[in-house]
Structure 1
Amino acid sequence: MGQPMELHDIDLNLLVVFQELLQQRRVSAVATALGTSQPAISNALARLRKVLGDELFLRTSKGMVPTPFAEALAEPIANALGAIHHTLNQMSVFDPASSTRAFTVAMTDIGEISFLPVLMRKLALIAPGVTISTVRNQSDTLRADMEHGQVDLAIGFLPDLKGGFFQRRLFRQRYVCLFRADHPLAGAGMTSKTFSDAEHVSIVAEGTGHGMVDTVIQRAGIRRNVRLRVPHFVAVGHILQTTDLIAVVPHAYAMSTLAPFGLISAPCPIKIPDITITVLWHARNHRDPGNQWLRQTMFETFAP
């Protein structure tokens, strides 16, 4: 790039265009988001390419793809713009008692069962005007939704979300076997053989990391007799209640279903690694007062 660059060499608006192109990947979408024309965005990109000495984005059938240099700039620029935004708005505060803000939180159906009853009782006391909407935390769309500000927080087992995100651990979870209280295995105990011989319901929660359960069991040389596969946990309690199927589930989910569905749990005869449940947020929301309040509320309520 030649001589060192000075701040007066670059227009801050060009960095805003750069960040939007990283997120939107299409000139037309960036123009809409910034309230300007496509030629204006193209002109800004041309100026930015000249200043930085790199193509930055390459046109493909799937939109504008960032070059390695642009990818290397992505996180530092996002952090810098976030810091500037925070500084310009540092007098803004978030008052939960009077706020009517609507937050969107990504979580699985297990998360809804585990977190929402307690969280909503607490919000009724400390933030009666705040509303919560939940969406599924599938990593293929979640990254873009959080980058664009459509999702404020994500909670769960999400090992695929790394670059550009902050995270904090809430707690660890072990997996257990779950089945009805009068199941034939209830008195016999769970061994590798009885586990293998039993009929299973397998939960394929895409994008959450829970798919590693099947991988671990296969690597242990155990062949499960899977009679049913479902994409979520919400119906598992109902299914186990009236069948001889068994399921491998996180401990928190098992504890929430034992009494309502007449189920019991047992340790898995296969060693399955514990999972870490985390709260994740995008760098763009790191200094947002409302986001800070919500995630701190989650930590205080659910972390050990």
Structure 2
Amino acid sequence: MMNDAILRKIDLNLLLAFAVLMQERNVSRAAERLLLGQPGLSAALKRLREALDDDLFVRVGRGLQPTPRALAIAPVIEDALSNIERAIRPPAAFDPKSWEGEFRIGMCDNLESAFFGPLAARLRQLSPGSRLIGVASERRDVSRMLDDGAFDFSVAVHGEPPSWHVRAPLFTQSSVCIYDPAQIKLKAPLGLDAYADAPHVAVSFEGNSSTSIDVALAGHGKTRNVVATVPRFSALPTALRAMPAIATIPESIARCMAQLHNLMIDLPPIDLPAEPVSMLYRRVDHADSRASWFRTLFVEVAGAALEASGCKMGISQIAA
């Protein structure tokens, strides 16, 4: 354990001056290397002599001769300074090609459906020795899971984070209607009466069917008929292809579902609040080169995925 009382007496710059004097054995040359005037170096040597209670160097002719104490401590001080120098060097840039560890991301299943595949494919290209781990997360558990190291960052609709987390905006997520035109015949653009009268499938992890959609409909004096509620978005396509029904879901996953399952997308005939999707990560990881590279990669991949799917929302160029 360090002895704080002894170390408080010593300025690190004094040890650097001592090491350079040992190497040069000449005040003028040592002062030049240290970018000091000779009076400044002489003052530093005086302080060091007082702290160590030893002359350390004796002038002999035009040079300096170290005392036995100076010779004894010189190798240890030089090693210590070398270790300090290595410790405070700027970290090497992260090299994804040589990385063989894990990248972990937390997402709910609607965003996972939209982004996980493209992210995994891009990682295989840039970091073939790495592994992408997707971790299921719910809004109420995200902060705790992040603190526990469950993932590098979360992508979701996040609430106000604690001060030790960073919430970076990504995009605003609008809702659209999706249905199977082979099951239910609806005219585009979708009218309010047709929308309210159609059977609805809701998505709710808790099993609740009442959402902001019902609030918006109530403002028009309308109600909807929820015939089924599924806990995950992944169950929605098969439900819509099996029966005449409509669902109102985030645009990012709706575009993916429409392409994969030949479903139809239309705008809802009511104003629904858009939700801000953001990235949440630990403040201590902000400058970490590996974590920063992964966050930047996700922003690039998500932006390309949204554009390719035809989403009208653009992703923010966050300072990842």
Q: Same fold (TM over 0.5)?
A: yes
SS at match of 2:234: coil
Partner of 1:185: 185
Counterpart check, 1:289 vs 2:316: no
Q: Summarize deviations over 1:251-278 as a string: whole Å, max 9, x none.
A: 1211111233221011101111222222
2:255 partner SS: helix
Any gaps of 5 or more consecutive residues in structure 1? 1-7, 9-86
Opposite residue 104 of structure 1, the aligned amino acid is R
Deviation string, structure 1 residues 48-91 (Cα, Å, up to 9, x no partner): xxxxxxxxxxxxxxxxxxxxxxxxxxxxxxxxxxxxxxx86853
Instruction: Summarize the Cα distance change of 1:205–1:219 in structure 2 as closer, same or farther, 3 Å threshold.
Output: farther
Alignment correspondent of 2:274: 274
CA distance in 2, matches of 1:184, 1:113: 25
Shift of 1:213: 4.3
**Whole-angstrom CA distance in 2 between matches of 1:220 and 1:91:** 59
**Partner SS for 2:293:** helix
SS in 2 for 1:299: helix
Q: 2:78 maps to which residue?
A: none
CA RMSD of aligned residues (A): 2.6
The residue type equivalent to 2:204 in the other structure is V
Distance 1:178 1:167 in 2: 30
Distance verdict in 2 for CA 1:285–1:194, change over 3 Å: same
Q: Does 1:96 align with 2:96?
A: yes
How does 1:26-37 map onto structure 2 within 5 Å? Answer: none
Q: CA deviation at 1:235?
A: 1.0
TM-score with structure 1 setting the length: 0.64
How far apart in 2 are the matches of 1:129 and 1:138?
29
Give the Cα–Cα distance (whole angstroms) in 1 for the partners of residues 264 and 162 of structure 2. 36
Q: CA deviation at 1:214?
A: 4.7
The answer on 1:158 being equivalent to 2:164 is: no
- 8 Å Cα contact 1:139/1:161 also seen in 2: no
Distance 1:163 1:184, change over 3 A: same
Q: Say if 1:147 and 1:282, in contact at 8 Å, map to a contact too.
A: yes
Residue of structure 2 equivalent to 1:138: 138
Residue aligning to 1:249: 249
Matches of residues 5-24 of structure 1 in structure 2 within 5 Å?
none
Q: Give yes or no for the alignment of 1:223 onto 2:227.
A: no
| Aligned equivalents of 2:248, 2:162: Cα separation in 1 | 27
User: Corresponding residue for 1:196?
Assistant: 196
Q: Give the Cα separation in 1 of the matches to 2:151 and 2:296.
A: 17
- CA distance 1:102–1:226, shift in 2 (3 Å): same
- How far, CA to CA, are the matches of 2:266 and 2:275 in structure 1? 18
Write the mapping of 1:232-247 to structure 2, written as runs, cut at 5 A. Answer: 232-247=232-247
Separation (CA, whole Å) in 2 of partners of 1:167 and 1:275: 14
Larger radius of gyration: 2
**Which stretches in structure 2 are left out of the alignment for 5+ residues?**
5-86, 304-313, 315-320
Does the CA-based 8 Å contact 2:104-2:152 persist in structure 1? Answer: yes
* Contact 1:204-1:211 within 8 A present in 2 as well: no
Residue type matched to 1:171 in 2? F
2:99–2:127 Cα contact (<8 Å) kept:
yes
Letter in 2 for 1:191: G
Kindly indicate whether the alpha-carbon contact (under 8 Å) linking 1:170 and 1:279 is maintained by their aligned counterparts in 2: yes
Return the alpha-carbon distance in structure 2 between the equivalents of residues 88 and 227 of structure 1. Answer: 62
On the 8 A contact 1:147/1:284 being kept in 2, the answer is no
Alignment partners' CA distance in 2, 1:285 and 1:235? 35
Measure how far apart 1:194 and its partner are.
1.7
Cα distance, 1:211–1:101 mapped onto 2, change above 3 Å: farther
Distance 1:103 1:237, change over 3 A: same
Change over 3 Å in CA distance of 1:283–1:215 after alignment to 2: farther
Distance, in Å, in 2 between the alignment partners of 1:96 and 1:216 is 47
Distance (whole Å) between structure 2 residues aligned to residue 212 and residue 205 of structure 1: 15
- Which one is further off, 218-227 or 128-137? 218-227
Corresponding residue for residue 33 of structure 2? none
